Amino acid sequence: MDTTRVNSNFKSEEYFINMGPQHPATHGVLRLLLTIDGEIIKKVEPDLGYIHRSIEKMCERDSYQQIVHLTDRMDYLSSHINNEAVCLTVENALELEVPERVKVIRTIIGELTRIASHCLWWGVMGMDVGALTTYFYGFRDREMVNDIFEETCGARLTMNYNIPGGLMYDIHPNFIQRTKDFVAHFKTKIPEYDKLLTGNVIFQKRMKGVGILSKEDAISFGASGPVGRGSGYSCDVRKHHPYSALDKVTFNESLKTAGDSLARYEVRIMEMWESLSIIEQLIDNIPEGDYKVATKAVIKLPKGEYYQKVEAARGELGVYVISTGTKNPYRLKFRSPGFSNISLLNHIAVGGKIGDLVASMATLDIVVPDIDR
């Protein structure tokens, strides 16, 4: 019997769906072109560019002080860390030594940013797998961090608190107390997160063994941050190339070797604990001193190429500057973590169901303006 003819009677057709740019699970304006066979994903093509604002080109127009505030708008959930990256690049190029106080404050606020970002990610993660309540619990705790930022920096999201050479203002007198209150509060909340979502049998089933990314693939796709560390790729910039005050604190790099969605989830939960411990080590030991060193009104970097990488909440953020000695960079390139991480979406989602795609996309923790810039 001719089997091919029999099968052709039952041949299932692949079809094609546009997921996004307006879709609840794509967190903004990411468009995914899905090729699906029934419920099973055959191919995912991310289509980018819906929120491209040519930030890199704008940077060529602006002076180095002005570039900092543009980076707020890239990965808006780790805006402080983005600012810090640009400032560190400029300071390194100028061979400017910033006071210890600045370094410590930058590190504390950076870790607070990471916690705030992971809080939001946790809430959205729950929402993507269908548990809507997590969103509000995540936001409750994130609000506290945002209040700390608002009091010290004046803004909740696009803070622009760093300037080349230090900080824009000194920390607010309430900063230390508020941060301590938050650390005490948040220590009781992470176990609650675990109870509500991590331990849940449905959640475990949705996450375990789904979206597997091997260590080799993680490296070859350029994965960084919790995505890479979930696959056992030790890539924490804070550990390998410490910047600011991170060489003075002890913390563990959160590593998981499973490489599935659950591993990426757990790495982020572990990172929240590590960030709390970093904050606790530093908050009582903020050295006295100036909050900035004077720089020239017009900063001109010496001719040359400069690269600085930091660990943003989503992974490795690199700033690459080519200077020709003028007050603007000749070319400025951001190596953003989201862009590399989204490239492996096809790799981890193929063969899964639509629900798996949404769940593993949530563990990549996509921020679309970071991908498009």
Partner 1 sequence: MSYFSNIYNGIKSLLTGMSVTGKVFLNARKGTITQQYPENRETLKMFDRFRGEVVMPHDEDNEHRCTGCQKCEIACPNGSIEIIWDRVVNPETGKKKKEIDQHIYHLGLCTMCSLCIEACPTDAIVWAQNYENSVYDRSFLTKVLNQPGSKLMDGVED
Partner 2 sequence: MNISLGITKTIHDWLFSVMPEGLASITEMVLIAAVYLGVFAVFGLYLVLLERKVAAWFQLRMGPNRVGFKGLLQTLADALKLVSKELTGTEKADKFLYNLAPYFVIISALMALAVFPFTQEFQAFDINIGIFFLIAISSIGVIGILLGGWSSNNKFALIGAMRSGVQTISYELSVGLSLLTMVLITGSLQLSEIVEVQKNGWLIVQGHIPAVIAFMIFMIAGTAETNRAPFDMVEAESELGAGFHTEYSGMKFAYFFLAEFINMFIISAIATTMFFGGWLSPFGITESLPWLGVFWFLGKTLVIVILMMWFRWTFPRLRIDQLLTLEWKYLLPINLVNIVVMAFIVWQNLIIQL
**Given the rule CB under 8 A, which residues bind partner 2?**
15, 17, 23-25, 39, 126-133, 135-137, 140, 196-197, 200, 202-203, 205-206, 353-356, 358
- Residue numbers 174-193 binding partner 1 by CB under 8 A: 192
Q: Which stretch binds partner 1 (CB under 8 A): 108-116, 196-204, 227-235, 334-342?
A: 196-204
Q: Which of 52, 195, 240, 296 binds partner 1 (CB under 8 A)?
A: 195
Interface with partner 1 includes 326 (CB under 8 A)?
no
Looking only at residues 60 through 79 of this chain, which bind partner 1 when binding is defined by CB under 8 A?
A: 62, 65-66, 68-70, 72
Query: CB neighbours of 229 closer than 8 A, spacing ≥ 6?
Result: 235, 236, 253, 254, 255, 256, 267
Q: Pick what 341 binds: partner 2, partner 1, none; C-beta below 5 to 8 Å, kind-dependent.
A: none
48/96 with CB nearer partner 1 = 96
Q: For partner 1, which is the closer residue by CB, 100 or 143? A: 143
Is 138 or 315 the residue whose CB approaches partner 2 more closely? 138
Footprint of partner 1 on 108-147 (CB under 8 A): 133, 136-137, 140, 143
User: CA-CA distance, 96 to 287, in Å (whole number)?
Assistant: 19
Shortest spacing between CB 334 and partner 1, in angstroms:
17
Distance of CA 141 to the CA centre of its chain: 18
Q: Assess whether the previous peptide bond of 302 is cis (omega < 30° from 0).
A: no
202 counts as binding partner 1 under rule CB under 8 A = yes
Residue nearer to partner 2 on the CB measure, 25 or 348:
25
User: What single-letter amino acid sits at 21?
Assistant: P
- Give yes or no for residue 25 binding partner 1 (CB under 8 A): no
209 vs 304 by CB, closer to partner 2:
209
Partner in contact with 39, chosen from partner 1, partner 2, none, beta carbon below 5 to 8 Å by kind? partner 2
Nearer Cβ to partner 1, position 204 or 220?
204
What's the min distance (Å) between Cβ of 226 and partner 1?
Answer: 23
Using the minimum distance from each CB to partner 2, give the nearer residue, 137 or 334: 137
Which two three-digit tokens encode residue 199? Answer: 């331990």
Burial class of 354 by CB neighbour count within 10 A (0 to 12, 13 to 18, 19+):
middle
Consecutive H or E run containing 315: strand 315-323
| Nearest-approach distance from CB 205 to partner 2, in angstroms | 5
> Which residues pair with residue 15 across a beta bridge?
36
Q: How far is the CB of 118 from partner 2 (least distance, A)?
A: 18
Determine, following the binding rule CB under 8 A, whether residue 160 of this chain makes contact with partner 1.
Answer: yes
The four Cα atoms 89, 255, 363, 186 give a dihedral, to 10 degrees, of -80
User: Within 13 A of 234's CA, how many CA atoms are on the CB side?
Assistant: 5
Closest-CA residue to 275 (of 82, 102, 144, 115) = 115
* Shortest Å, Cβ 360 to partner 1: 22
CB 291 within 8 A of CB 253: no
- Out of 23, 42, 172, 239, point to the residue binding partner 1 (CB under 8 A): 172
40: helix, strand or coil = strand
98 binds partner 1 (CB under 8 A): no
Q: What tokens were used for 16?
A: 């094609």
- Dmax (CA) for the chain in angstroms is 87
Count of residues binding partner 1 (CB under 8 A)? 34
| DSSP codes, 72-104 | TTTSGGGHHHHHHHHHHHHHHHHTPPPPHHHHH
How far apart (Å, rounded) are the C-alpha atoms in residues 171 and 33?
46
Scored b (16 or more CB within 10 A) or e, 137-166 reads bbbebbebbbebbeebbeebebbbbbbbbb
Binding site for partner 1 (CB under 8 A): 62, 65-66, 68-70, 72, 133, 136-137, 140, 143, 150-155, 158, 160, 163, 168-169, 172, 192, 195-197, 199-202, 204, 297
